[in-house]
Amino acid sequence: MQPESGPAKSAERPAAPGPKATPGSPAREAVTLWAIGFALIITASLLVPNYAKLVATVSFLYLPLLFARRQELPEKSPTLLSRFWTFDYRELGVSTRNWRQDVKLALGVFAVVAPVYFVGYLLYPEILKHLPRTLAVHLSPHLASGTFHLRLPARFGEWAIDQTLVVALPEEFFYRGYLQTRLRESYPGGKKLLGARLGPAFFLTAALFAVGHLAIFEAWRLAVFIPALLFGWLREKTGTVLGATLLHAAFNLYEMVLQTSFYGPD
């Protein structure tokens, strides 16, 4: 009930509006960061090719720490070390909270895909024989059909550690953890598929992952778009990057085994 003298006027000033989130700004941040990383890897591949892999690993692990979520860091934290300790890794899927589901799904997907990929390894060179050689050389590193003799690459145990910790983990942290998360903030829509919501961010992340492999410019490297869809689905399904990392490493090692078994150690 209002007093007869009319509505009382508040003595307090309305709070100044805070900065508004610009639609698409997380996507701009993410794509810009991806472009910086891509440029660094290309530069290293051209100038110091022996260190290109190291540059890629460092870029994927540390670029998000330097630029992502800058507004959420404490005001007095200008150093890389302070950013390292204040970064919320769980937001980007770095967590073991669903490790059982991650391991189970990674093993399940690998068990389904591995036989199909093996058949493709057998048939793909035969298909390439029917294409002009000028086109075929861009579609595969192997044009001749190989004979399968099961062999492991030399120092396979070392390769397993390398592919898990140096290749798969940094790439999954950057692409599925950081990039897919930021893109989803700008493009949150999507439809559910097998319990995971897949939208524009999911497909754009896979596309950037594929293009990122063109730092060494060979067109057949774009084929990684397909496994990238599986990695992205695992990220959305479990909420972590653990399953995607395990599957990524398993696929890379499987590819190495197939190359050695079909075409020899060279």
- Structure confidence by residue, pLDDT tens digits, 143-194: 777 788 999 999 999 999 999 999 999 999 999 999 999 999 999 888 999 9
Does 255 reside within a domain? yes
Does 59 reside within a domain? no
Average pLDDT, the chain: 84
pLDDT band with cut points at 50, 70 and 90 for residue 15? very low
Does 187 reside within a domain? yes
Does 147 reside within a domain? yes
Does 71 reside within a domain? no
Does 158 reside within a domain? yes
The whole-number average pLDDT for the span 108-120 is 96
Q: Which domain holds residue 243?
A: 89-263
- pLDDT confidence of residue 146: 78
Does 97 reside within a domain? yes
Say if residue 11's pLDDT is above 80: no
Does 118 reside within a domain? yes
In the chain, how many domains are there? 1
Of 11-15, 204-208, 240-244, 255-259, the poorest mean pLDDT is in: 11-15
pLDDT band with cut points at 50, 70 and 90 for residue 110? very high
- pLDDT confidence of residue 143: 77
The pLDDT tens digits for 87-98 are 667 888 888 899
Please report, for residues 59, 89, 159, 167, 227, the alpha-carbon distance to residue 66 in angstroms, rounded to integers and kept in the order given. Answer: 10, 13, 29, 20, 28
The whole-number average pLDDT for the span 107-117 is 97
